[in-house]
Structure 1
């Protein structure tokens, strides 16, 4: 196109997300079947504790994205709609986890620096939350964490839309000498150009060409190369409790952690505790189990769930918080008062990635609904004159165990 650095490429992770639903968070939330297909491989019940069995894994880290430094800018004729990082577990050949996306913030005065929110405060969108969790039980030496730095763009003349990869970083999750999991610390790693399947490609070769044989000039040139900065830490005791009930391999926002865990707990209740015959595959009445995976595809709907959950927790007493069954019922109630009606709202504009106007229109509608629900109750919001509803379908309220494995990884 003549307006981008030679190390940029079409985004590998964006293409996977578009072409293969196996890389979505909703797909990885499904319990995996055993080889016989008669039981689950990663969802177990503990009769002694009368709850879902915890599943510790080899790698379990909290990751905080901090910034991208010295990223070359694109030329004229291209309007950038979003700067973001996509993360996944990668073995050099294949993506082994869901692909998680974090949007960066950007200041025109410092055009070469992307920044990430270290923690979402108040009701900032969770899409910009730079805090994630990484969980996997893969033990192969070549297993690592892939970061692909991406730009969503529009060509101003033609209106053509697309997504660039500005480069990538691969962090091995095991020490090559000892085989132990990598240390917790702040990492400052160089960004490589090309795709994750290419080696020795620079993001912007013009930086190297300007370097001379002089030591000082070479050091100055190295300081101008794109770098990704992030931090790894150990989960807190509370976070570990939530993490231990999740699937073996998963990456997502820290803000979603309690919700993902409650979903898996309720899934275990329905599939392992409450079914009289474990080989029975009849439909299960549960709007939450049927629709929560769909909600994870929309960050703004997950933000609505977060808003409702925060309000509910303010009214829950400490004694009630220690009652697991009560807390599960409260989470179900929060989902049914926020995410469920929004998923089937005909007035909610269609979700469009990296479209600021569409995102704002959606959030205006979500905010209006949530405010009305908070003030007057969910029944008033749903039954008020003029409220529109999509035609009812039984799939809205039933969890189909067999359908969940159509297209399963």
Structure 2
């Protein structure tokens, strides 16, 4: 029996914020994968190494965590006044599934540098020294992100002294500006899909919980940590090794998804793993993060822990940080109350790896809360560039085989 050689597809492996993923130019993908559908999903799953019942991703580029099982497709923008379209796929680790329902705020950071390095930005706009504002159309959710990329000697500056908790080494600072981040599309409706900043959510087997459900950055449901038996200082080991806790969080997420109008029935939650996110919040307190560093009460405004793809995140998803900043800016939300209440335009919160500051400009217009933008700093770096190899029959096989 003869076997076809592997496909060779140009790609770049990049870190963006506290995530990393495989970046492709749309034009470099095989024709069948240049359009949405089963062929594209099959290709990206094989690139990452999913589905993997061993949960190791040994035969792929994934890292067997929600932060490292990601693919990005970049193309020239179809939108006026934008530079590139950015499409993000969250690849499930152990099931044959790619979730296209939301954005990755961390990898959004790397889109700007990738766009510049791959010729999507006219060279006349690139200074010898300074910054380039790359206007990105986030195609999953239909939103604009402006990525302010530092330039040195006419090239993207990657090295620097900016430190990001959750990332081991310093790099150059990249400022992200999420324009009008509240979701008003087909899935979410208004920023607060129920019309309330706090709701009672009935979760069978858990009880009735007060929650804040918000569509900003990414659909997110916030719960008070104390109400579910936590302090907000928990690290990954305290949650991810507790099957009962994970089941509770998934139940909360599924029932919130129904209330938010994202799905019609809780049974559909398994096919929408990426959204909504579920997070728990608490007032600040002294605690130790995963690096061993002590965070003092006075260093932060509140504590937040968030789950992604069914596991506690090692730091914080960028899109969830937008949700946190937006909710903190709106008096009366659970996030705002955990931070001490009152009006604010920025918040510094503690997460399992350290702290993060995010700013948001929110206002009430005709009785409805709106947010004009959210801003945070991250960093990004090319880890490897060249080509991905996948078996030639990858897109011919049924998904998951």
Give TM class, smaller chain: under 0.3
Bigger strand fraction: 2
Give the structure with the higher percent helix. 1
TM-score relative to the length of structure 1: 0.24
TM-score under structure 2 length normalisation: 0.24
